Amino acid sequence: MHLDDILKLDIKLLVAFVTIMEEGSVSRAAERLNVTQPALSKSLQRLRELFKDSLFTRQAYGLTPTARASELHDLIQPILSSLSELMSPNSLDLKTLDRRFKLRADEGDLENFIEPLLASLQYQAPNLRLSISSWGDSQLDELVSGNVDLGIMRVSETPGNVRSKLIGCMEACIVLSEAHPLFHKDEVTLEELLRHKVVTHHLRSHRHSSFSKTEQKLKQQGHIIQPSLETDSLMVAMQAVKRGMALVTSRSIGDLFLQVMCEKAHFYPVKLLPIPKEVLDIDEHKGRHPIHIFWHERFNNDLAHRWLREQIIYFMRESPWMHPPT
């Protein structure tokens, strides 16, 4: 059959043919398909013309298929089965899901969901594999290129082919040890904070971050924020605090820091302080910065991908450090 002949095919004709074959009667087939008998007789005539065969002969007990009809039935039945499978909704079997996902998230954001997520994966999707690392300099480009499946960041501007969903808001804090000159205070001014050495942990200041506008306003007021140390390593941050630096980090890392330091022998006492009021007053988010989850458009309707990102969103929103969107 040439392409022009294939274009003449109508799925309804194929369904009509198989139904007549199964019922052995035009009237019974019409009733089953909920069409009139004359309408189905016209479809049968079109089939005869298309395949150049009578297809059925009338007998006293009904219709008998010709040899050509039996041959066609064996060919058409798998086609209709495939079409039925094509139109049926996808299903996701988490127990047999064998797939690797790459995530980008900084340590402070991971603290919100990684423990319950790993427990969920172990129980629901034991064969699913994760590759988790911090953001590199390319950031959202990794999503566009397909090198990353999911990302979490304090950024709202995205390329057109990257989707995002607001999870909630998180606040930062200051961690001080007894070795810091301001340890005795319950709150500090920005000027006091910048008078001493500061270390930042996963608080990025690139132009797309939610803090970038606030940073520009601070510069206009003469406050230049230049940390003495920037690190992605919690161990480095711990040692910096031990040496008397003020650590500016997410509240989740601040609480984790307290927990670890309380268990660590021969370490100075530590405390958490709020971000200076001068910063909060000019910050459009009032210190609670929005966190989004990102994924490429190509994964939007991927059932496994959707399940994983919904798990992360749920666990993050249940986190004690996550505040509802304002």
Asked if 296 and 166 sit in the same domain, the reply is yes
d(CA 311, CA 144) in angstroms, rounded, equals: 22
**Please, are residues 250 and 172 in contact by the beta-carbon 8 Å criterion?**
yes
Is 247 domain-assigned? Answer: yes
CATH number at residue 11: 1.10.10.10
Q: Domain residues for 10?
A: 3-87
pLDDT for the residue numbered 130: 94
Residue 53 DSSP class: S
Same domain, 139 and 210: yes
Classify 60 as helix, strand or coil: coil
Question: Do 262 and 150 share a structural domain?
Answer: yes
Q: Is 131 exposed, middle or buried (0-12, 13-18, 19+ CB in 10 A)?
A: exposed
Q: Are residues 58 and 110 in the same domain?
A: no
Residue 304 lies in a domain: yes
Rounded Cα–Cα distance for residues 230 and 20 (Å): 75
259-276: per-residue pLDDT in tens?
A: 877 666 666 788 999 999
* Weakest mean pLDDT among 50-54, 105-109, 212-216: 212-216
pLDDT of 1 above 60: no
Task: Give the C-alpha separation, 308 to 304, whole Å.
Answer: 6
Backbone angles phi, psi at 273, to 5 degrees: -125, 155
DSSP secondary structure code for residue 155 in this structure: B
Indicate the helix (H) or strand (E) that contains 46: helix 37-51
Residue 48 pLDDT > 80? yes
pLDDT in tens, 3-19: 566 666 778 888 888 88
**Does some domain include residue 324?**
no
Burial (0-12, 13-18, 19+ Cβ within 10 Å), 30: buried
User: Most distant CA pair in the chain: distance in Å?
Assistant: 106
Q: Give the tokens for residue 282.
A: 């000019």
The mean per-residue pLDDT over the stretch 104-114 comes to 89
pLDDT at 224 over 70: yes
Looking at the structure of the chain, the number of domains it has is 2
Q: Which helix (H) or strand (E) holds 270?
A: strand 270-273
Round to whole Å and give the CA distance between 167 and 145.
Answer: 24
Residues 123 and 54 in one domain: no
Q: What is the model's pTM?
A: 0.68
Q: What are phi and psi of 211, to 5 degrees?
A: -90, -10
